[in-house]
Structure 1
Amino acid sequence: MGKLTTHVLDTAHGRPAAGMGVSLRRDGKVVASVVTNADGRCEGPLLEGEELVAGTYELQFQVREYFTGIGVASPFLDVVPVRFRVEAGHSYHVPLVCSPFAYSTYRGS
């Protein structure tokens, strides 16, 4: 059975991005919404098993809200969208590495 997970690292401060809002959309509809924990991770998979069906998904990371919340005056980034395809039965880990001005993502393990 597959699962979808994520985590966020704040490279500007060299630490996990604790307290960042993340939503997951499928076909334009929100299917999960979480806030990252102290380790920059979700408490569990965003979707798993039969809930994780094949299709196009989009993670939306609330980067601006996170950085303004920790005292960064004028972050350049707002919401960072990461759109990707999922095949049924596979597991996906989609991390975000970000600063107030740049980001990177990849398919992790």
Structure 2
Amino acid sequence: MGKLSTHVLDITVGKPGVGVKVALYAVTAQGRELLKTDVTNADGRCAVPLLEGDTMKPGKYELVFGAGAYFAAQGVDLPEPRFIDEVTLAFGIASADQNYHVPLVVSPWAYSTYRGS
């Protein structure tokens, strides 16, 4: 079986995003269902996979990162409303047998992601 993992990189300082709130949702025809919340550790990662084993299923998902709150906690001078606040990454899992790593590379002004393994 595969697994789903994530991490956050704060590109304003070139270091892991520590203490970023992460929420994982399943997206179905009925709407979004919250599956899990976590907070990134000292390496900018969630300590355990977000999905694995029986919970790793094909489908549509969203990861929501509390980037704005993270940068505010770092003392970054942010406008109100924040330009980047909650970052939502919508993605699909086609095979439960593969690993999906969905990282967030973020600053207060931009973000990027990619599919890792």
TM-score exceeds 0.5: yes
- TM-score w.r.t. the length of structure 2 is 0.90
Task: Write the distance in 1 (CA, Å) between the matches of 2:101 and 2:46.
Answer: 11
Mind listing any 5+ residue stretches in structure 2 that lack a counterpart? Answer: none
Q: What SS does the aligned partner of 1:31 have?
A: strand
Residue 73 of structure 1 pairs with residue 77 of structure 2: yes
Is contact 1:49–1:89 with CA below 8 Å preserved after alignment? Answer: no
Root-mean-square deviation (CA, aligned residues, Å) is: 0.9
> Structure 1, residues 17-41: CA drift from partner, whole Å, max 9, x if none?
0000000000201101000001100
**Matching residue's letter, 1:76:** F
Aligned residue number for residue 64 of structure 2: 60
Q: How do 1:44-55 residues align onto structure 2 when only pairs under 5 Å count? A: 44-55=48-59
Residue 41 of structure 1 pairs with residue 49 of structure 2: no
> Structure 1, residues 56-104: CA drift from partner, whole Å, max 9, x if none?
0000010000000110121520100000110222210001000011000
- TM-score w.r.t. the length of structure 1 is 0.96
Measured after TM superposition, the shift of residue 2 of structure 1 is 1.0
**Matching residue's letter, 1:62:** G
Task: Report the structure number with the largest CA radius of gyration.
Answer: 2
The count of corresponding residues between Structure 1 and Structure 2 is 109
Q: What SS does the aligned partner of 1:22 have?
A: strand
Mind listing any 5+ residue stretches in structure 1 that lack a counterpart? Answer: none
- Percent identity between the aligned chains? 52
